[in-house]
Amino acid sequence: METVVGNLCSPFLLSQLGNSRPCLLKLRTSAASRVFKCCFAAAIKVRAAASVAVVEVEPTEPIVVQNDGISSNNILACPICYDPFSSSGDPGLSVESASGSSFQCGTCKKTYFGNETHIDLTTASGTKDYGESMPVTTEIFRTPLVSYLYERGWRQSFTVWGGFPGPEKEFELTKDFLKPVLGGGNIIDASCGSGMFSRLFAKSGLFSLVVALDYSENMLKECYGFIQQEENFPKENMILVRADISRLPFATGSVDAVHAGAAIHCWPSPSTAVAEISRVLRPGGVFVASTYILDGPFSLIPFLRNITQRTKQISGGQVFTSESELEDICQACGLVGFTKVRNRLFVMISATKPT
């Protein structure tokens, strides 16, 4: 039985995976304060395959996303202290500005550096002798081969195995959930892999800044390569960041939206990661994620919970067996308004930071 579940899980693996002191952040910014007023639509119509369900969302009061002193692009912070950075090098945040850039924390004085493709904002960045390994579900995506294959067949297999609608249709679903915060803010594409959705967000023009975030250096290199291949890509609206999902390098309450496509099941601790996401979201900010759930006929498998626990111990990933598990995580981490849409094993969820 473990073999059956192992085979089902493998195609869905994806990389993960206090007091604030004001610091000078030398970045181009828009006005330091902005307000977005948006309303949930009475019904979100899913324009996907006919098999994808329609998710109904009850009308709510307008959600106000406020920015108190942190602009849309002023969001990077020390992953150790969570204090905003002072910066040297190119004063803008963009794909091209990573190379040669450096960011120093005003509290711990640690400096983080960018290379040709991305900015490394992991806590262990800069260490010389210390090396850190992650669970299998994280490490596998750090390999050059898997990073190369991810957008060249790996991700496409999700449609066959689990009913994932495909990148374009999933993007449309995501935009429906993000309606309350659309209007020029920022978005973190967490565990972005090779940047499939990051690039769609950037080209949509719906956000002033898109952060493609992943723990895998090779995934970020693939993302950078795809960006370079596209003509007229809006590089000025996107940055690539290496970071740990459980220690996000963003100022508290500075992010409008976080997206995590087919990723949460690969995070070593989904609750810790969602707690971090809740921390960085502004009041009214939205979290959208997709994953798969082994329910329905799979619930008839004898000892399913024991099998999934054993799978987690071996792989370091999470196997969800009910929608309520995902709702529990969101509620436990201070997010409200949980909604979802299903298609076979595929599920996309959304939850909001309270205002």
What is the spatial order of strands in the sheet that 102-105 belongs to? 85-88, 102-105, 111-113
95, 100, 101, 102 alpha-carbon torsion, rounded to 10°: 150
Pairing mode, strands 119-120 and 238-242: parallel
Q: At what angle do helices 196-204 and 217-229 cross, to 10 degrees?
A: 40
Greater pLDDT, 287 or 74: 287
What is the per-residue pLDDT across 165-190, written as a single tens digit (0 to 9) for each? 999 999 999 999 999 999 889 999 99
343 backbone dihedrals φ, ψ, rounded to 5°: -155, 105
Residue 236 corresponds to which tokens in the numbers above?
A: 């000025």
Specify the 3-state DSSP secondary structure of 287.
strand
Residues contacting residue 135 through CB under 8 Å, at least 6 positions apart = 268, 315, 316, 317
| Global pTM value | 0.76
Residue 119 corresponds to which tokens in the numbers above?
A: 């900015």
> What pLDDT does residue 87 have?
54
Greater pLDDT, 8 or 221: 221
- Which domains does the chain possess? 2-17+36-69+133-352 (3.40.50.150)
